[in-house]
Chain A
Amino acid sequence: MSSVILLVAAGIYVGWNIGANDTANCIGTAVGSGLISYSKAVILIAIFIILGASIQGERVIETIGKGIVTEVIPVPAIIIALLSAGAFVTIATYLKLPVSTSQAIVGGVTGVSLSVGANIAWNEVLSIILCWIINPIATLVIAYGLYHILNALARKVKRIRVWERFITVLLVVTISYMAYSLGANHAGNAVGPIANLGVIKLRWLAIIGGLSIALGSITYGHRVSETVGKSITLLDPITACAAQLSIAIVVHMFSILGIPVSTSQAIVGGVIGVGLVRGVTAINRSIIIKIIIGWIATPLISAIIAFSIYKIVA
């Protein structure tokens, strides 16, 4: 019983980190453009994060808990996997770096499983890595198409006040959908490893994951919002909505497939996608390099930390 409590506490800690780190991805546009205050936006996304996690969070939980490693691993190993990923993200959040919690948790689970000597489903791991690569590319393509659709719709509006109302509704729908997708995909990052033991039902784990992410958003989400929010809000509303909707769609799709993906990297794809519409080469080489480093470094460092700590503890 005490180990279950420890596991849940560790999961809540990771979930809290995810909420603190990823809040900016959802509300950057709306808060930055001043449409809605930060406090109201955070309450809105908290509601949709919990909904997303509760309704569609189980698939990713199952992948992380029982998809990467096919056998039950010791409770201390799971706790270490969660805490090492969580600590990594905590430090990144403090340093205002939008890192991928998905990659950190997959790395953590893989590293600790290797340390334990458990069977790892390398096909599953490779599929997940492939999806990480597809993620920003898919958002780029969808953002490009969505921009044209939204712009065509906006141009049909001839009255200024109707146009403003259209944008307002669009922004609210965008942030809500993004929060829903975040909850559906990232609840698994928070509590997925606990599913490995099979002691708590997936539905309850999803709810716990969603609540912990929502808590992180409410209590500490403002920190990364300052940096990520500003980069999104340099875009006009139509462009920003196209970028964010594309992210929400892609992350949602991967949630249905049960694949944990990075919203931070999806954002880069979305922003580049809408940038290409204007004919502007928004591809910044340093950002591409950062993404590639992220694909490699984040799961690797997380795996090494988890592997090493378990070896020391064991």
Chain B
Amino acid sequence: MFKHVRRREHKVYLLFNEHLNTVGECLAKFKEMTINYLNNNPLHEENALDVHKLESKADTIRRNIEKEIHGGAFLPFLREDYIEIAERIDKIADKAEAVVDFYMLVRPQIPDSLHDAIKELTDRTIVGLPHLKNMFDLLDVDMTKVVDEAVKVNIIESEVDQLERELIKNVFNLDIDLALKIILRELIRNIADISDLIQNASDRIEILTVKYRV
């Protein structure tokens, strides 16, 4: 009677893995795009297209996840949790795409003195994703260990916040136009938002484990 439900759940877990891997690839391409943009390497345009494609792929996988869940996977009182997790993971790819669009449409002239700091911020903001993936994998291994990975994600998010603040402070200390300062601030905030979104998704997974342990 319930075999079809277990098959559907297994499919959802596979889709989640694929979703997280796709978002991971999207963030890797986003980082590559940022470095190429800062180095004036024309490859950054190809990277931008790759980010768009990967974001679309992530969207498709998320819709498939929701379709399977609404089709009957998991106990109903838990379905909204899984859907929420899928949506929050998807928002990470959406934000990476938004930052890429910002680079491509606004074409901010980033001073050379900020290149290393922007690269560092970009690098740190995406480093939480492997921990998010570990959290999801641990759900079916040992739920009690999920909180350890959540702590790591929170630490990374705090570090990114700190970098963001310092970078914005440095921007407003530069001798450049106010308009450019505002544009750069927006860019920095958007990059930092990626780690916030990773933390949001991590929080949701953590809440799911609390629900199971009640």
Do A168 and B2 have beta carbons less than 8 Å apart?
A: yes
For the complex, what is the distance from the CA of A49 to the CA of B66, rounded to whole Å? Answer: 37
Tell whether A167 is near chain B: CB-to-CB under 8 Å.
yes
Do A158 and B77 have beta carbons less than 8 Å apart?
A: no
Tell whether A34 is near chain B: CB-to-CB under 8 Å.
yes
Do B75 and A35 have beta carbons less than 8 Å apart?
A: yes
Name B214's contact: one of A40, A165, A236 (CB within 8 Å): A236
For the complex, what is the distance from the CA of A161 to the CA of B14, rounded to whole Å? Answer: 13
* Given A159-B141, A160-B139; A33-B212 close (CB under 8 Å): no
* Given A35-B75, A168-B2, A237-B77; A158-B144 close (CB under 8 Å): yes
The 9 closest A-B pairs by CB, nearest first: A34-B76, A160-B139, A158-B142, A159-B140, A161-B140, A160-B140, A33-B76, A163-B212, A158-B143
Name A161's contact: one of B2, B9, B72, B214 (CB within 8 Å): B9
Which A residues are in CB contact (< 8 Å) with B5?
Answer: 168
For the complex, what is the distance from the CA of A155 to the CA of B209, rounded to whole Å? Answer: 11
Chain B 2-31, CB within 8 Å of chain A: the 1/0 string?
A: 100110010001000000000000000000
Tell whether B172 is near chain A: CB-to-CB under 8 Å.
no
Do B75 and A164 have beta carbons less than 8 Å apart?
A: yes
For the complex, what is the distance from the CA of A238 to the CA of B1, rounded to whole Å? Answer: 21
Do B76 and A155 have beta carbons less than 8 Å apart?
A: no
Chain A 14-37, CB within 8 Å of chain B: the 1/0 string?
A: 000000000000000000011110
* Given A155-B213, A164-B9; A34-B75 close (CB under 8 Å): yes
Task: Please name the residue on chain A nearest to B208 by beta carbon.
Answer: A160
Size category of the A interface is 10 to 19
For the complex, what is the distance from the CA of A140 to the CA of B68, rounded to whole Å? Answer: 39
A-B contact pairs, 5 of them (CB 8 A): A33-B76, A34-B77, A158-B144, A159-B140, A168-B5
Which B residues are in CB contact (< 8 Å) with A236?
Answer: 77, 211, 214
**Residues of chain B at interface, number, CB under 8 A:** 23
Distance in Å: Cβ of B197 to nearest Cβ of chain A = 23
For the complex, what is the distance from the CA of A164 to the CA of B72, rounded to whole Å? Answer: 13
Add 18 more A-B contacts to A35-B76, A159-B142, A160-B139 (CB < 8 A): A34-B72, A34-B75, A34-B76, A34-B77, A35-B75, A36-B1, A158-B141, A158-B142, A158-B143, A158-B144, A159-B141, A159-B143, A160-B143, A163-B143, A164-B9, A165-B6, A168-B75, A236-B211
Which A residues are in CB contact (< 8 Å) with B102?
Answer: none
Distance in Å: Cβ of A120 to nearest Cβ of chain B = 47
Binding site for B on A (CB under 8 A): 33-36, 40, 155, 158-161, 163-165, 167-168, 236-238
For the complex, what is the distance from the CA of A158 to the CA of B143, rounded to whole Å? Answer: 5
Considering the complex, which residues of chain B in the window 142-171 have a beta carbon less than 8 Å from any beta carbon of chain A?
Answer: 142-144
Binding site for A on B (CB under 8 A): 1-2, 5-6, 9, 13, 72, 74-78, 139-144, 209, 211-214
Q: Secondary structure of the B side of the interface?
A: helix
Which B residues are in CB contact (< 8 Å) with A40?
Answer: 1
Do A164 and B74 have beta carbons less than 8 Å apart?
A: yes
For the complex, what is the distance from the CA of A164 to the CA of B139, rounded to whole Å? Answer: 12
Distance in Å: Cβ of A237 to nearest Cβ of chain B = 7
Task: Please name the residue on chain B nearest to A171 by beta carbon.
Answer: B75
Task: Please name the residue on chain B nearest to A162 by beta carbon.
Answer: B140
For the complex, what is the distance from the CA of A272 to the CA of B211, rounded to whole Å? Answer: 21
For the complex, what is the distance from the CA of A168 to the CA of B1, rounded to whole Å? Answer: 11
For the complex, what is the distance from the CA of A160 to the CA of B78, rounded to whole Å? Answer: 11
For the complex, what is the distance from the CA of A19 to the CA of B152, rounded to whole Å? Answer: 55
Distance in Å: Cβ of A43 to nearest Cβ of chain B = 10
For the complex, what is the distance from the CA of A85 to the CA of B140, rounded to whole Å? Answer: 53
Distance in Å: Cβ of A152 to nearest Cβ of chain B = 12
Do B212 and A160 have beta carbons less than 8 Å apart?
A: yes
Distance in Å: Cβ of B77 to nearest Cβ of chain A = 6
Do B140 and A167 have beta carbons less than 8 Å apart?
A: no
Do A33 and B75 have beta carbons less than 8 Å apart?
A: yes
Distance in Å: Cβ of A173 to nearest Cβ of chain B = 13
For the complex, what is the distance from the CA of A162 to the CA of B197, rounded to whole Å? Answer: 29
For the complex, what is the distance from the CA of A33 to the CA of B214, rounded to whole Å? Answer: 17
Which B residues are in CB contact (< 8 Å) with A164?
Answer: 9, 74-75, 78
Which A residues are in CB contact (< 8 Å) with B213?
Answer: 155
Q: Which of B75, B140, B213 has the most CB of A within 10 A?
A: B75
Which B residues are in CB contact (< 8 Å) with A155?
Answer: 213
Distance in Å: Cβ of A160 to nearest Cβ of chain B = 5
Which B residues are in CB contact (< 8 Å) with A165?
Answer: 6
Task: Please name the residue on chain A nearest to B13 by beta carbon.
Answer: A161
For the complex, what is the distance from the CA of A167 to the CA of B142, rounded to whole Å? Answer: 17
Which B residues are in CB contact (< 8 Å) with A238?
Answer: 214
For the complex, what is the distance from the CA of A160 to the CA of B144, rounded to whole Å? Answer: 11
